[in-house]
Amino acid sequence: MHTFWLISPIIIVLGIALYFIWALRKRDKHYQTKKAIMKSGDRGEYKVQAVLRVLQKPNSKYRVYHNIKLGPDPDHTNEYDTLVVGPNGIFHIETKNYGGERGGIIDIDSQQNWILHKKSGYSKIISNPVGQVDSHEYRLRGFLNKVVGVRNLPTQGIIVLSCDNIRVRVNKGRDSSIPILGRHELLPYIRNYQQGHVTLYPRTIKKICQHIEAMNSAAQAR
């Protein structure tokens, strides 16, 4: 009996130590997974940024911004992967690197669920980015109306899949107001976009861009 009482504190301490080791390993695994996802997302954004560099040439009529915050005021902003302002509209782009480098297939069913089928045979439901794009549209409209003081400008949200080896299969019932593009389709889409044949004149673009830069600076300083 005495032996049991002598050993039991050792067992308890050992059990606690093993639990902490397990918890630390679990936390480290979660951190490494999160870090890998962030790296994958960054790689996807870099690919899209490379495609849009042609719009950033000195003689370009477009202005391109990456990773900026916009909203009706500095306390109510969204972070945008990419924003393009040009004579034919304002484009807010959400980049997704679904499938990583290997790719796969995305099925969008009648309930607007996105199911990713990887080439390894593994399938999972992924978040539908349409809600995110809708939120960006709402904040952008608020910014243009309240901060810039302009209304009824053509704005367009776009989902860009940066992986070249990803394929999308869409149910016919999907709302197509937000296009899903491959990164090489993005530039032609922006250049050929027309909504109501509205033209943003250089002075309007300049005004919008000045407010974009001021709002982003104020929001980043929070």
Angle between helices 183-192 and 2-51 (to 10 degrees): 40
Residue 117: inside a domain: no
Residue 156: inside a domain: yes
pLDDT at 6 (0 to 100): 54
Write down the pTM of the prediction.
0.79
Residue 62: inside a domain: yes
Q: Which strands, in side-by-side order, build the sheet including 180-182? A: 63-73, 76-86, 89-96, 155-161, 180-182
Total domains in the chain come to: 1
pLDDT at 40 (0 to 100): 45
| Domain with 161 in it | 35-97+128-166+174-220
What whole-number distance in Å separates Cα of residue 171 and Cα of residue 88? Answer: 30
Residue 40: inside a domain: yes
CATH classification of the domain holding 190: 3.40.1350
166 with 104: CB under 8 angstroms? yes
Per-residue pLDDT of the chain (222 residues; tens, 9 = 90+): 555 555 566 666 676 777 767 666 666 554 443 444 444 446 778 999 999 999 999 999 999 999 999 999 999 999 999 999 999 999 999 999 998 777 899 999 888 899 999 888 889 999 999 999 999 999 999 999 999 999 889 999 999 999 999 999 987 766 678 999 999 999 999 999 998 778 999 999 999 999 999 999 999 988
